[in-house]
Amino acid sequence: MSDNISAPPGTVTGSEAATEGFWNRIIAILSVIIVGAVAFLILGPRPEVGGSLDVSALPFVNMTLNSITTVLLLIAFWFIRARRIGAHKNAMLLAFGTSTAFLVTYVIYHWFKAGPRAYAGDWTTFYYVVLISHIVLAIFVVPLALTTLHRGWIRQDARHRALAKVSLPIWLYVSVTGVLLYVLLYP
């Protein structure tokens, strides 16, 4: 069957499958690079760059970006429930932008800082439960968000909607717990 013949709705043609495979590989590669880079910055050795750049304000910037992302995700959800697809798309692109800005400032902070800040509060068990769940889900939110955005961008609406039911709650959790972790670390 030629790709020029109209296929029934929901059918993926050969060229569409090849394109989707290409983007799935790109998303997988980006996800591995992003997660690997963050893990290296937190756990790996650092060059001697301490003091060359004041990054002390970046945790507040990161918390602010996480807060904005949370609000944008909720607004985007409201827009899609109201069937305002264009507004939903714009809000999601802004949420992706603030998440990307968070990632950039997070990487800069951990490059120029000696390591993660130690928790010194009274809620140690709660803190570590939130921290561990935040880290694990943050690993998954990268490929989930990228794949969901891609499916929405190319208007694979049914597949986008199905994946968004998983990725949105995880992305929201990661954003909200990012703010909560800041509040616990910087009272």
Phi-psi region of 10 (alpha: psi -120 to 50; beta: other; left: phi over 0): left
d(CA 148, CA 164): 6
The string of pLDDT tens digits covering residues 78-108 is: 999 999 999 999 999 999 999 999 998 988 8
Q: Where are the domains of the chain?
A: 27-185
Residue 181 predicted with pLDDT over 50: yes
The two three-digit tokens of residue 57, written as one number: 């304000």
Name the token pair of 48. Answer: 């001697």
Alpha carbons 20 and 160: distance in angstroms, whole number: 13
Q: What is the structure's pLDDT at 49? A: 60
* pLDDT band, residue 187 (cuts 50/70/90): confident
Which pLDDT score, from 0 to 100, does residue 114 have?
61
CA atoms within 13 A on the CB side of 98: 21
**For tokens 């989930």, what's the residue?**
144
pLDDT digits (tens, 9 = 90+) for 2-52: 444 444 555 555 666 667 788 888 888 888 888 888 777 767 776 666 557
Percent of the chain with pLDDT over 70: 84
Residues 114-164 pLDDT 10s: 666 788 889 999 999 999 999 999 999 999 999 999 999 888 999 999 999
- Where does 27-185 sit in CATH, by number? 1.20.120.80
d(CA 174, CA 133): 8
pTM for the structure as a whole:
0.81
pLDDT value of residue 4: 44
User: Would you state the pLDDT for residue 10?
Assistant: 52
